[in-house]
Structure 1
Amino acid sequence: MKIVLLVPDGVAVRNYIYSDFIQELHQANFEVVLYHQIPTPAIQEIKKVHGNLLSEYLRIPDFKEHFISRILRESIAYARLLQNSDKLQNKTIMLFWNGKSKGFKRTILLRISEVAGFVISQKYSWILKLEKWYESTILNHPTTKIIEAELSKLNPDYILNLHQRAVITAPIIAIASKNGIKNGTVIFSWDNIPKARLLSKYDSYFVWSDLMQSELEIVYPEINSAAIKVVGTPQFEFYFKDQFKLSKEEFFATYNLDPSKKTICFSANDAFSPYEAIYLEDLCESLLTIDEPNRAQILFRRCPVDLSNRFDVVLSKYPKLVISIDPDWRIASALENTFTEIYPSFLDISLLVNTVLHSDVVVNLGSTMAHDFAVYNKPCLYLNYDPIEPSSLKVKDVYGFQHFRSMSGIAAVGWINNRLDFKEKIQQALDSSEIIGPDRLQWMQKIVKYPLQNNSKNLVQEISFLCTSV
């Protein structure tokens, strides 16, 4: 059997391509083809990891939507956000609409999309009709002829999209569906369902959990529940593999951390969260009130795709307190700063695993890293105050996002509700970790299918069954 994996950018590489997923496909007798838009150095890195387990690397042709297609897509997204906020009774869903723009053309496009989206949101059937119209415009695009010829030559048994939000995958799925090629998509992250960026219709949808399946059924009622497969996600499998683990002594010596001190991991978000540097400085100032011998150290890990210099001032101000271990994500072209040019090295898996393994607590603003630490049953402290007023990003909105409703009724994390909370809550997490977010494993088990080690195998088993069924 032959499977084509769609890898539109570097973000999909770490969670799927570096995981056990490729090995499991090989063991299930799949010939694996990478249909991608990632740079040559990323391909070389993948070949180092997997050798000849992937039979072919084929670049996805460049695809640029026509103006009408773009208006249709954005109108559908706006309409679905309105629908989703109503269906899920959650007004924060509308914050995922990026209605701001510096360019005149994009501003006009977004205003048109908002008006059209509002109108079609009045009836769900109108949204579905617009989605069919969008697909027809995609199929009429000149690029689809190239893609159709390539798929005909490849003749795959299955096509799996590893990042459902990427526009460049839309024509591939449209052609696959037209030609009867079985296809599916993973839902890439735990917060993706309400964001209205599921661009294509698939034969199958591979989700993290029963909770995600339920949400998908609510906001996409046209999807048959039998098409939704709960398989988990491979991204947590790395934590169980000795090949990625270093001893605490070796890891700390390599990165100039003090093995005699407790370690706080401060994990940052991307630029969507503008006040991360202020939070980091608040933590530093709080720790400085503790006597040096008893003072914990901070291991700072920035968001891999945040290449800004916004933390530089804080890091230079507290060089003995904060040790920065940057994710090993690389930019293939200095001329571009796009997701297609940024990719993770295989080494970054080890950096992340050892960061979690050898830190005692993680502090962040609503980050998925809470789940990474929960794998090792370690506590997370969520930042829960606005560091400046007026604030362009309110924490009440952040924790109002749909995916945080999964914490309802359980104590999944600890909360730092103001600057004065740091000292006490950090001390509790370091001295009595069981009282900070005691229900963290219960939360994790709601978010992703257990056991975590089996998720690649779950996905491959489902695909194998789909390929062989009539």
Structure 2
Amino acid sequence: MRILIIVPDGVGVRNYLFSNFVSNLIQENNEVFIYHKLSKSAVKEIKKSKPEIVNFSEIPHFVETPKLRILRESLAYARLLRGKKLLKNNTILRFWIPSKKGIKKKSLYFLAEKLGIILSKSQRLIRTYDKIYEAEILKNKNTAIHKKKLLEVNPDFVLNLHQRSPIASPIIAAAKKLRIKTATVIFSWDNMPKARLVARYDYYYVWSQLMKNQVELLHKEINLSNVIVTGTPQFEFYFDKNNFEEKNVFFNKYGLDSGKKTICFSGNDTSSPYEANYLKDVCEEISKIDKASRPQIIFRKCPVDKSTRFNKILEDYKELVFSIEPDWKTEKDQEDSFTSIYPTSYDNYLLANTVKHSDVVINLGSTMAHDFAVLDIPCLYLNYNPVENSVFKVEDIYGFEHFRSMNDLEAVGWLNSKNEIKEKTLLAIEQPNKIGEDRKKWLEKIVLHPLDKNSEKLKNTILDCIK
């Protein structure tokens, strides 16, 4: 079989190209073609890590017309408004982030909001405008280019690695025109309520039954039999012994003491403005512990956070905090380009060992809670506002729909004030089963198990869909 995989940006490289997923397809004599919007250095890194992946072709530059952009944004806003009512969750609208830069973008989002309000009144109206968007995509010159590419490759199946990306829309439109089966993975555990499912596919591959239920509620137009629970390869790196190194060897590389207990502080991206405040609070409180028994801190910045906001804290607490920078790269001339950011295969090693050799992780509502839960290590969620009267509030963060999946589970520990950091961190280290004792149950709810079989599950599902 021939399978064309759309890689719209560098974020999907780790989960799908560095995992066993593509390799498994190739091992069964399937031809895989990577149709990508990656930098040359990213492609080089993939080839180095996975030499069996040989077919790469760059997606031509796509300029979204104002009409397409207004349609796409208005449909997203309409679905957010409906999602707010269906889910009975006001935080859904925090996913609407209109651009405030320039009169053109302000006008575009103004029109998108007005149209979105009208569309939100009726599911039928939303579906009608979905079809109008699809018709406009078919008229786009890129669709003809992609049609030519698909005729050249002649795939049996087209898979998109990120459902939110508008550059995938003309590719999917061309595939549909040629009657080629299509599918998308839903990239992350929190994606469905964000209303960024841009195109429509033959199949949708989701993390869990929970996510499938969200599709059923939020997308009545999708046939539920075409929504398939495949899990995600995101966590399989923790089951590969080749990714791990002895604690003393790993710690020696980064100046850490292998005899000390270790806290990991994992940061969020710059949309979370007070990460540096939280890190400072953690450092101040941990510094109060007697030096002989004081844990050390590994700081892992969010890979896409290129800011310098942590520098002063890292300097002030250099005897306590050891920064292990994620090994993600960008092209020098594309520092601000989201598509240019990509992980190296070495980052799998860094992340796996950071998790394995830490005793607890602290963060603000990060997915890293799940990474640590894979290895049965507790997580403490920061649950207080470090800056008074800020519009950014933790109450909104933990009100997001994906956190409702915890329900009554004791999945994480909660740091409800700065004063709780010292005591609860020590408790998590000394008695890990007293903090977040249901972390494994939460993980089982979030993603299909067994976690180390999800690449195989996704591969088999695709081959079954082709038949």
Category of TM-score, reference length = shorter chain = over 0.9
What are the superposed Cα offsets for residues 363-399 of structure 1, whole Å, 9 maximum, x if unpaired? Answer: 0000000000000001000000000011121101100
Counterpart contact for 2:208–2:446, Cα < 8 Å? yes
Alignment correspondent of 2:105? 106
Partner residue, 2:10: 10
2:45 aligned partner: 45
Deviations 1:217-253 (A, max 9, x none): 1000111111011010001000010111010010000
2:70 pairs with 1:71: yes
Shift in Å at residue 331 of structure 1?
0.7
Larger CA deviation: 386-395 vs 362-371 = 386-395
Q: Deviation per CA, 1:18-58: give whole Å up to 9, x if none.
A: 0010121112321010000101111111111121x224111
Counterpart CA distance in 2 for 1:278 and 1:384 is 13
Query: How far apart in 2 are the matches of 1:316 and 1:104?
Result: 41
Q: How many residues of Structure 1 are paired with residues of Structure 2 in the alignment?
A: 467
CA distance in 2: counterparts of 1:100 and 1:134, whole angstroms: 21
- Alignment check: 8 A CA contact 1:4 1:158 kept: yes
How far apart are residue 100 of structure 1 and its match?
A: 4.5
Q: Is the 8 A contact 2:23 2:53 kept in 1?
A: no
Aligned-pair identity (%): 51
TM-score using structure 1 length? 0.98
Within a 5 Å distance, the mapping from 1:236-251 to structure 2 comes to 236-251=235-250
Tell me, what secondary structure is at the counterpart of 1:334? helix
Superimposed CA distance per residue, residues 113-151 of structure 1 (whole angstroms, 9 cap, x where no aligned partner): 111100110011111111111111111111211111011
Letter in 1 for 2:3: I
Task: Tell me whether 1:460 sits opposite 2:459 in the alignment.
Answer: yes
Match of 2:142 in 1: 143
What is the aligned partner in structure 2 of residue 34 from structure 1?
Answer: 34
Letter in 1 for 2:53: L
Shift of 1:336: 3.5
Partner of 1:133: 132
Q: Distance in 2 between matches of 1:465 and 1:28?
A: 13
1:305-345 deviations in whole A, cap 9, x for unaligned? 11011111111111111000000000123344212111110
Q: What SS does the aligned partner of 2:251 have? A: helix
Contact 1:78 1:117 survives alignment (8 Å): yes
The corresponding residue for 1:235 is 234
Q: Residue 174 of structure 1: CA displacement?
A: 1.1
Give secondary structure in 2 for the equivalent of 1:33: strand
Q: Which contiguous aligned blocks of 4+ residues in structure 1 show a shift greater than 3 angstroms?
A: none
In structure 1, C-alpha distance between the alignment counterparts of 2:334 and 2:433, rounded to whole Å: 48
Q: Is the 8 A contact 1:360 1:430 kept in 2?
A: yes
Contact 2:327-2:346 at 8 Å conserved across structures: yes
SS of 1:382's partner is strand
TM-score by length of 2: 0.99
- Does structure 1 residue 214 correspond to structure 2 residue 213? yes
In structure 1, runs of 5+ residues without a counterpart are: none
- RMSD over aligned Cα atoms: 0.8
Offset at 1:15?
0.7
Asked if structure 2 preserves the Cα contact closer than 8 Å seen for 1:157 and 1:181, the reply is yes
Correspondence for 2:61? 62
Q: Which residue of 1 aligns with 2:351?
A: 352
Q: Does 1:328 align with 2:327?
A: yes
Please state whether the residue corresponding to 1:340 is helix, strand or coil: helix
User: Residue type of the partner of 2:320?
Assistant: L
Looking at structure 1, the residues matched to 73 and 272 of structure 2 have their Cα atoms a distance apart, in angstroms, of 23
Give the letter aligned to residue 7 of structure 1: V
Measured in 1, the distance between the counterparts of 2:212 and 2:291 equals 49
Q: What residue in structure 1 maps to residue 25 of structure 2?
A: 25
The code of the aligned residue for 2:11 comes to V
Partner Cα separation in structure 1 for residue 7 and residue 438 of structure 2 = 35
SS of the equivalent of 1:261 reads coil
